Structure 1
Amino acid sequence: MTQRVRPVDALIVVDVQSAFVTGGGAVPDAERLVDRTADLIARARRAGSVVVHLQNDGPPGAEDEPHTPGWELHHPVRSGPTEKVIRKPHDDGFQDTELGAVLAGARVRAVAVCGVMSEMCVQATARTALERGYRVVVPYDAHATQDVPAAPGISGVVPAAMVSRVAAYALGSDAETTVPTAAVMFTAPGTS
């Protein structure tokens, strides 16, 4: 049986957009990531938790350029009082967005963060959540990234799974990063 962690009252789904989880540009093992993030979303909704889908606005010509097929969110959104989409111009989902206000307005205390890319937008968003005093859970099997290319004379290719693990580990001991998706529990804000 999987050990459970204390419930969180919000889920932040980072950049699970078509460009990153389908086709030739998909992260390795994208199917697993999509399954895990879908499970988290479904369980958060059932519990009445806040669900925020972050959507990266890439620059012109990027695979996630706004209003292109790659920019579209992969998971369907049920917009309403506890679920919303927040577009973001930077790696950090809090920077120049309403994410902080949304979480504060709902009286959120603990967040689970999942999505792509582990060492960029997932880590930056989780780090700011920690700095703002939230309890942060980053399930190890619900975030992903690409392989890091070889650097001649320094290293070979660094596998994506290793990059993801190091990115989460770099958040330090204040983030809960050694739990699987199945261990994450949800609750409505104000009930824990």
Structure 2
Amino acid sequence: MVTPLLWALAAIVVVALLFVLELRRELKAAYTPTTGERIDVSLRPNLALLIIDMQEDFTTVGGRYGWDEAYLKARIEAIDIMAAKAKKADIPVIAIRHVYRAPLIRLMIRLFGEGRGIPGSRGLGLMRLPVEPDFEVLKARSDSFSSPELEGYLAAKQIGTLLLTGLDGSYCVQATANGALNRGYRVEIVEDALLSRDQADWGRQVAALKGRGAVLI
């Protein structure tokens, strides 16, 4: 005989399983690089600097989710130098901001990630840059190309080469790099202006990106 307690336990197991499956689906969608129409780089002679996810939520010092202060400072200085040089050379500076929107990912970040990067957080804004960005993109997935306005801007400015800076190398930077490569862009990653928590994993990502034609500078 099946007791009410067993029915309740079975229901809990089913709900938990559905939760896990849906969370896995959201994570896969969030972290998988996008694909799109390939460009003709011969018709795209210009380049742009992308500054990825350098937001207050993701650039704190110390604590469980913070960075080593010296490491963070050095990377921010390198990004600032790149931004100033780009502006002086009339190279567009594109600032990318991330906001987690998938419901279960938001829930997990609220519970275990101190609420960083979810709607309503006070740290969603960009860190102060030495120049005003020429364009800003808001994304909800790792790959910046998941926001269609990025492709529209790049097309309007005849941009075929992307200089990538920001964080995190193993996640949003590599996903954006792969999204760009999937579309035929030239990709150059500015190593000194990039942050990555897992250096071993970033090394593996670099090897894969180089195999696809990306360049580290």
Does residue 20 (structure 1) correspond to residue 58 (structure 2)? The answer is yes
Using the TM superposition, give the Cα deviation of residue 84 of structure 1 relative to its aligned residue in structure 2, in angstroms: 1.4
Cross-structure match for 1:182: none
Deviations 1:129-188 (A, max 9, x none): 112111110022221122xxxxxxxxxxxxx333333322221330002x2xxxxxxxxx
CA distance in structure 2 between the partners assigned to 1:66 and 1:78 by the alignment: 24
* Structure 1: runs of 5 or more not aligned: 1-6, 147-159, 180-192
Does residue 38 (structure 1) correspond to residue 80 (structure 2)? The answer is yes
Cross-structure match for 1:176: 215
Residues 165 and 35 (structure 1), Cα distance of their counterparts in 2 relative to 1, 3 Å cut = farther
Q: Is the 8 A contact 1:127 1:171 kept in 2?
A: yes
Q: Is the 8 A contact 2:161 2:186 kept in 1?
A: yes
TM-score when scaled to structure 2? 0.66
| Residue identity matched to 2:95 | H
Residues 66 and 45 (structure 1), Cα distance of their counterparts in 2 relative to 1, 3 Å cut = farther
| Residue identity matched to 2:215 | E
| Residue identity matched to 1:66 | P
Over 6 Å off, 4+ runs:
none
Higher helix share: 2
Cross-structure match for 2:142: 91
Does residue 69 (structure 1) correspond to residue 122 (structure 2)? The answer is yes
Q: Is the 8 A contact 1:27 1:145 kept in 2?
A: no
Using the TM superposition, give the Cα deviation of residue 32 of structure 1 relative to its aligned residue in structure 2, in angstroms: 1.3
CA distance in structure 1 between the partners assigned to 2:147 and 2:207 by the alignment: 26
Q: Which of these residues, 160, 175, 179, is aligned with residue 109 of structure 1?
A: 160
Q: Percent identity?
A: 27
Residues 169 and 86 (structure 1), Cα distance of their counterparts in 2 relative to 1, 3 Å cut = same
How many equivalent residue pairs?
Answer: 156
Cross-structure match for 1:47: 89
Q: Is the 8 A contact 1:8 1:112 kept in 2?
A: no
Q: Which of these residues, 43, 47, 54, is aligned with residue 9 of structure 1?
A: 47
Cross-structure match for 2:132: 78
CA distance in structure 1 between the partners assigned to 2:187 and 2:75 by the alignment: 19
RMSD across aligned positions (CA): 2.0
* Structure 2: runs of 5 or more not aligned: 1-44, 101-105
CA distance in structure 1 between the partners assigned to 2:74 and 2:66 by the alignment: 12
Q: Is the 8 A contact 1:118 1:164 kept in 2?
A: yes
TM-score when scaled to structure 1? 0.73
2:191 match: secondary structure: coil
Does residue 133 (structure 1) correspond to residue 187 (structure 2)? The answer is no
Residues 141 and 8 (structure 1), Cα distance of their counterparts in 2 relative to 1, 3 Å cut = farther
Residues 63 and 113 (structure 1), Cα distance of their counterparts in 2 relative to 1, 3 Å cut = same
CA distance in structure 1 between the partners assigned to 2:76 and 2:209 by the alignment: 23
Q: Is the 8 A contact 2:142 2:172 kept in 1?
A: yes
